[in-house]
Amino acid sequence: MTKAQIGKCPPLLFFDTGVGGLSVLSETIKLLPNAPIVYAADYAGLPYGMKSEAELAARVPALLGRLVERYKPVLATIACNTASTIALDHVRSALDIPVVGTVPAIKPASELTRTGVIGLLGTRATIRQPYVDRLAADFASDKILLRHAAPELVYAAEAKLRGETPDPDVIQQALSGLLDQAGGERIDTVILACTHFPLLREELAEAAGRPIQFIDGAKGIAHRIAYLTKDMSWPVDSQDGIFVTTAELADIAPYRSAFEKYGITQFEKL
Ligand code: DGL
């Protein structure tokens, strides 16, 4: 990894379909407050959770290739569980920079659970991935892992970050789909296996009505990014970040203030 050149420091690139990547970005900027940020949202492709493996295996590396060419980041983070569990290997072989993925936090959940019953909320595509089966076999083979697809939470998180109040019935229904399964009453730990879902942590905790720990991988990813870029000389002051999207800029206007909170002030179309 090259040291930053004076006056021109390569950015960290974050990639998701929408606002979900903010749950990863927010932990990263706690550790690297002055790292320049490019946040890419493939709004034209949202929701990834409803797409096929073949479509995402082609779409995600192609978009990341264009983004890397345009912004020359030092590292790319796929801040999306769906894209990571399907396309991480494809992206890594297509790019010559380090690529950090976001995969369901099954290992930490397995260490945290006391009842031995873990819930996993993700998109439809994520919960069916062999990648998730492998994580379960490697790290939670002595635990029960119950899965539920909650694509409606993606839209609830998007609404929240546009400044709207997410519908409590939608949150309740998503959680019931997990907790009402056989054995679900023993779940004490729920993995938020979609980067949009930690943005609804308070709403989910309230809807649960009993103590459940909701966990995600964002802190671990932030530490991994900091470790992989430890030789970088980041600027001494914080930098204005860039938001780039596949959608029309007019369509993302309602999200501007959510991104501005993280110092992302320039908005561009890919
Ligand atoms: N945020 C993405 C994830 O982590 C998915 C949202 C979508 O379905 O586009 O899986």
Cβ-contact 16, 90 below 8 angstroms: no
Q: Determine if ligand 1 sits within 6 Å of the CB of residue 147.
A: no
Coil vs helix vs strand at 5? strand
Report the candidate in 218, 203, 207, 225 with the shortest Cα–Cα distance to residue 108. Answer: 218
Residue 191's DSSP bridge partners are 120, 215
Number of domains in the chain: 2
pLDDT reading at 116 higher than 60: yes
Q: Are residues 257 and 201 in the same domain?
A: no
Residue 237 Cα to ligand 1 middle (Å): 32
Q: Are residues 172 and 113 in the same domain?
A: yes
Q: With cut-offs at 50, 70 and 90, classify the pLDDT of residue 6.
A: very low
Cα gap 16→84, rounded to integer Å: 10
Q: Are residues 110 and 185 in the same domain?
A: yes
pLDDT tens-digit series, residues 241-268 = 999 999 999 999 999 999 999 999 999 9
Question: Final residue of a domain: which of 199, 216, 233?
Answer: 216
pLDDT tens-digit series, residues 144-185 = 999 999 999 999 999 999 999 999 999 999 999 999 999 999
Q: Are residues 17 and 91 in the same domain?
A: yes
Cβ-contact 200, 157 below 8 angstroms: yes
Q: Which long-range contacts (CB under 8 A, 24 or more apart) does 135-138 make?
A: 135/103, 135/104, 135/106, 135/107, 136/106, 138/107
CATH code for the domain in which residue 133 is found: 3.40.50.1860
Q: With cut-offs at 50, 70 and 90, classify the pLDDT of residue 3.
A: very low
Known catalytic residues are: 80, 194
Q: Determine if ligand 1 sits within 6 Å of the CB of residue 198.
A: no
Question: Final residue of a domain: which of 216, 234, 253?
Answer: 216
Q: Are residues 207 and 223 in the same domain?
A: no
Q: With cut-offs at 50, 70 and 90, classify the pLDDT of residue 135.
A: very high
Q: Are residues 177 and 202 in the same domain?
A: yes
Per the model's pLDDT, the better-predicted residue between 239 and 43 turns out to be 43
Q: Are residues 27 and 84 in the same domain?
A: yes
Q: Are residues 91 and 74 in the same domain?
A: yes
Domain boundaries, position 121:
106-216
Q: Are residues 72 and 134 in the same domain?
A: no
Residue 21 Cα to ligand 1 middle (Å): 9
108: its two tokens: 């930490």
Ligand 1, atom 2, residue with closest C-alpha = 80
